[in-house]
Chain A
């Protein structure tokens, strides 16, 4: 059975690169739970919130 092409039109290698990046980000964010437990979502670094 043929695999459906990805709608983004990216190659297999590019898709692997993306999957690896997203895996790394999600694993990192998951292990941050204890860091942000008491962190209000509206407090960012000084000045940076002005530009978001």
Chain B
């Protein structure tokens, strides 16, 4: 028997599943079975997991609130007046509510980590190229990464061997090693990223700093130049790739997309080739700058700059800034997608009003096992009493 034999797992509605329709929670796709499993779903099924249900998501994963879906908005089990965040909000809610021990999500700018943080559970985005995207409807193929959301960190470790590895149907995974053992680490060295473009609310800042102190990790604090340029690069690549993927369906069935998604897709068609190439060059620079930050086991940030926003609130204020709720959700997370890094969100405390706060750790590309070892070291110290 495998460690996941008989375990019910919920699947985000952008993964193809043989026995359920796959709609990406969009009105543009028919409510019909596709008769095929995504590679990861097939691997889980083969290992004995029970594919339990499909979960709600932000339409086409093109947003981070989970307020836009053909099946309606998702509510946060920690407080039904709050959003779950998205785009894997249904997966985060299903795990947080105790319906399943684990669910699959996908992450283009934080869509696994955001609902994990907002709902008080664990979410892991593997390095780009470690987990097969085959059969996962794309948002932006060079930023997308599939991964799990779970109630416990060890459950991520149990699942990863069935999620990572070389898949002949996804060229990005070619020569990707099988998932290895999670070793033991000594007191990890972390770089806490702070400064312009990395602001966060006082409650979240206090929660993360308190958890870092409790953990006993060796923490240095550093800034990161060029945040607005890096964000522009991420956004340009996202919209261009999404517009390219959806062009045919959008021409055939424009009314199947919500007005907001249509606007995003139209924006992608108005970005020039020169601008897109510049964005790709900026992406290379980000990788180099992160590598130059110094010796460390992981970078650390809050997963979100705010706790789960109230349903209906369109704006968030924190750190002297006022930003849309959408932008507040991806505020830190997109960095990991632009550089293709493994990232994990772990719960690290509660705000004074009782809402979960998440801490994000970002490792080095391809070193997913080491990042999980660091996360386990941290989790055992931060959440020892949980």
Contacts and interface: CB of A to CB of B under 8 A. Distances in A.
Interface string A8-46: 111101110110011011111101100110011101111
Interface residues of A, number: 33
B229 A29 contact: yes
B229 A48 contact: no
A47 B262 contact: no
Given A45-B286, A51-B171, A25 B254 contact: no
A14 B284 contact: no
A1 interface: no
B172 A21 contact: no
A4 interface: no
Contact of B266 (A8, A26, A29, A43): A8
B229 A28 contact: yes
Given A9-B254, A35-B285, A48 B340 contact: yes
A19 B69 CA distance: 24
A22 B279 CA distance: 13
Counting chain A CB atoms within 10 Å of each CB, the highest count among B127, B171, B275, B285 belongs to: B285
B365 A29 contact: no
Contact of A52 (B260, B275, B280): B280
B171 A22 contact: no
A17 B268 CA distance: 12
A32 B233 contact: yes
A45 B365 CA distance: 9
Contacts, number: 130
Contacts of B381: none
**Tier of interface size on chain B:** 35 or more
B264 interface: yes
Contacts of A27: 228, 232
Q: Say what secondary structure dominates the interface of chain A.
A: helix
B263 A10 contact: yes
B155 interface: no
Contacts of B231: 28
B229 A50 contact: no
Contact of A51 (B172, B280, B282, B283): B172
B282 A41 contact: no
B271 interface: yes
Contact of B128 (A17, A25, A47): A47
B339 interface: yes
Nearest to A9: B254
Interface of B: 127-129, 141-142, 171-172, 174, 225-226, 228-233, 235-236, 239, 254, 259-260, 262-264, 266-267, 270-271, 275, 277-287, 338-340, 365-366
Given A25-B235, A25-B275, A29-B275, 13 more contacts: A14-B259, A21-B239, A25-B239, A29-B279, A31-B228, A31-B229, A32-B233, A41-B280, A43-B281, A45-B128, A45-B284, A47-B172, A48-B142
